[in-house]
Amino acid sequence: MLARTHRLLAPALVVAGLLGWSAPKLADADEPGLPDTALLDDEADSPEQRQRLYDWLAEQAPQLDQHARVIKTVVRLVGPAVVHIEAHKQDGATSRRRTIEEAGSGVIIDLDGQLYVLTNRHVIRQAELENISIGLADGRIINPRRVWADPYTDVAAMAVDARGLIAARLGNSDDVEIGDFVLAMGSPFGLSRSVTHGIVSAKGRRDLDLSDDVELQDFVQTDAPINPGNSGGPLINLRGEVIAINTAIASNSGGSEGIGFSIPINMAVHVARQLIRHGKVMRAFLGVNLDSKFDAKAAAALGLPRKQGARILSLTPGAPAESARLEAGDVILRFDGRRVEDDKHLVYLVSLTEVGKEVPLVVFRSGQVLHMTVKVGDYHEFRGGAKRQP
């Protein structure tokens, strides 16, 4: 079951686990610097036994302290840019309308010299400006000046005016690798500026069945605990850079079960910048209908060594793909230098491309690899294109 990481505000007690590093595995007693393993099986009642253990811990602690200092420094740098968001929304018919209070998180970023709060659309959706409260790290409460939101990616940006704001440093989510250590910051269950720790568990999650129709997906998966209220908060690498925005969890209980999903920061910033500049996202359009059932067997039948790329079923008449002389049956292996993993990945790559850009393609056709170029168009000029197709 997938759940959004926001939650109705309600009185609750939450016990937070202490984050730390596991003690090193103990080796044999003849290894220098390690205590006798038999000693650890005893109750260590004698002062001598206890002192030996304390001495060993004192020798090992500096190594762990070094890791802890990295985490503390990241928190110190990014913490001032993390905000707590409360949105008061009206729900139901006019005659029976009730106010719903929801909590989430956000992060202050600098886009083209101006400061904005980046968050999830579902955190602030249907809330008026005056009903959105942004809690800053120094205790101040401000309201946004303007809000932009995109339903297809669940990204929202809020313009804010206040003195002394600190923006977080942005990383490159294309460089994120599975196994990278990350921190999640936000307001789980309304507990603002909480920090959890984990790794990147997977990348390219594109088949999440979210309650809203979020079509453009390329989530980073993490086991850093995120809970209701973390939505919109940053996922941060150990260089103190925001690499994703926490958005959803897979959970049977409604709380963290070690599977969280975050929007890559490159995608979130691209969408936010488009919203701020144009009032909408100017999405590129290729004009192809793709084979969602293209599998390893079909790839082998075409002569490909493995399943890769996105296979074209048909082309939209007059669209950029037709002008570039792409054909039905072609398999697009690379788009703008990026390896295409499947049809949904190509949709994602095209959606993040600047309208009008000439993009190099690598295409597999009739047993040959072709290098081509296509000038992507504007999606809004080709409304006849099939849903979820680039």
Give me the helices (H) in the chain, please.
37-41, 47-78, 121-124, 265-278, 296-302, 320-323, 343-351
Q: Coil, strand or helix: which one is 115?
A: strand
- d(Cα 134, Cα 126) in Å, to the nearest integer? 16
- Interatomic CA distance for residues 30 and 35, integer angstroms: 9
Q: Hey, which residues does 378 pair with through a beta bridge?
A: 284
- E strand or H helix at 221, and its extent? strand 219-222
Q: Which residue has the tokens 């005659």?
A: 95
Count of all residues that appear for the chain in the document: 390
> b/e for 328-345, b at 16 or more Cβ within 10 A?
eebbbbbbbeeebbbbbb
Active site residues: 122, 154, 231
Give the DSSP per-residue string, 259-315. -EEEEEHHHHHHHHHHHHHHSS---EE--EEE-TT--HHHHHHHT-SSS-SEEEEEE
Q: How far apart are CA 226 and CA 269, in angstroms?
A: 21
Q: In terms of Cα–Cα distance, which of 231, 202, 232, 230 is closest to 218? A: 202
Q: Which amino acid is at 101?
A: E
